[in-house]
């Protein structure tokens, strides 16, 4: 099957999940805790069930890696990577900034990604080698530089109150080095917005593959650059990501290394 067939399935599933999220946003939710502050709602689970059902119906032999459940390993060369509701904390509080993220990895390489922002009616898609689109129209990263004139985004890990790798030092350093930093609470959307040129750069740590699989491909296909914090090749299984328009990438990597040096000196 051509990639378009896989993409069509992902788009339909993302739209269906997004519609469910819109319908239930400002209603009462069943909230559970996966940790001290890490939430999951019944909408997360229902959306994941919906997406997985669509994929299993069309591609029963494919592997699935998703946030809320373990679907076992079929040892397929195809792996769907799913975040059914990225931005659950926002969603649980009625803050309308969240997304559906679906990616397909084939033989270890992410080949397509879909990020649906239902409250804005925005559908971001990317196919490796074919560029990135927003609602069917091509998008590109920004051309802004240097770093001091750029708008960045980041996030903080759930264990930020008790683990030293909490991103606070990087946040402070970038606040001093860039025009501004935003923390909106949905990694997939941060990456999609870098791809669309609305943000110039993004970094974060302690992420999971489903947080970044679709978004990192979009940044690359929109002409940007994605590495780990040291500027080395990025894997979606690496928990530290640095994404940018490419023009400010080295500047951002240098800021991230300041924290590494400072932390070593404090030991």
Give the span between the Cα atoms of 96 and 87, in whole angstroms. 9
pLDDT of residue 267: 47
Give the span between the Cα atoms of 47 and 5, in whole angstroms. 21
- CA-based diameter of the chain, in Å? 54
SS3 222: coil
pLDDT of residue 258: 87
pLDDT of residue 87: 96
Which DSSP letter does residue 234 get? P
Question: Left (φ > 0), alpha (ψ -120 to 50) or beta: where does 133 sit?
Answer: beta
Inter-residue long-range contacts of 243-246, CB under 8 Å, 24+ positions, other chains counted: 243/191, 243/194, 243/201, 243/202, 243/203, 243/215, 243/216, 243/219, 244/141, 244/194, 244/200, 244/201, 244/202, 244/219, 245/141, 245/142, 245/143, 245/144, 245/145, 245/194, 245/197, 245/200, 245/201, 246/141
Strand intervals (E) in the chain: 31-33, 39-41, 63-66, 78-86, 99-106, 109-117, 122-127, 131-134, 137-138, 151-153, 180-182, 201-204, 225-227, 241-244
**pLDDT, block means (10 residues), the chain with 267 residues:** 92 98 85 63 94 97 92 94 96 96 98 98 98 98 98 87 81 97 98 98 97 98 98 96 98 90 54
Domains, the chain, in order of start with CATH, read 3-138 (3.30.540.10), 147-265 (3.40.190.80)
Give the span between the Cα atoms of 146 and 152, in whole angstroms. 12
């Amino acid at each position: 099957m051509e990639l378009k067939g896989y993409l069509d399935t992902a788009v339909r599933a993302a739209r269906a999940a997004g519609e469910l999220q819109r319908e239930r946003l400002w209603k009462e939710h069943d909230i559970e805790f996966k940790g001290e502050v890490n939430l999951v709602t019944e909408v997360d689970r229902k959306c994941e069930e919906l997406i997985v059902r669509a994929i299993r119906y069309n591609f029963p032999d494919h592997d699935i890696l998703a946030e809320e459940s373990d679907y076992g390993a079929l040892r397929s060369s195809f792996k769907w990577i799913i975040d059914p509701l990225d931005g659950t904390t926002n969603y649980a509080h009625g803050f309308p900034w969240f997304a559906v993220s679906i990616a397909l990895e084939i033989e270890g390489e992410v080949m397509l990604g879909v990020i649906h922002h239902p409250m804005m009616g925005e559908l971001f898609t990317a196919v490796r080698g074919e560029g990135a689109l927003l609602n069917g129209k091509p998008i590109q990263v920004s051309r802004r530089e240097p770093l001091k004139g750029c708008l960045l985004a980041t996030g903080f890990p759930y264990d930020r109150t008790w683990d030293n790798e909490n991103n606070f030092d990087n946040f402070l350093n970038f606040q001093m080095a860039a025009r501004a930093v935003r923390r909106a609470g949905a990694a997939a959307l941060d990456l999609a917005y870098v791809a669309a040129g609305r943000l110039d750069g993004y970094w974060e740590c302690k992420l999971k593959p489903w947080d970044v699989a679709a978004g990192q491909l979009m940044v690359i296909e929109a002409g940007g650059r994605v590495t780990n914090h040291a500027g080395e090749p990025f894997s979606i299984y690496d928990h530290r990501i640095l994404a940018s328009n490419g023009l400010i990438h080295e500047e951002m990597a240098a800021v991230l290394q300041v924290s590494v040096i400072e932390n070593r000196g404090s030991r």
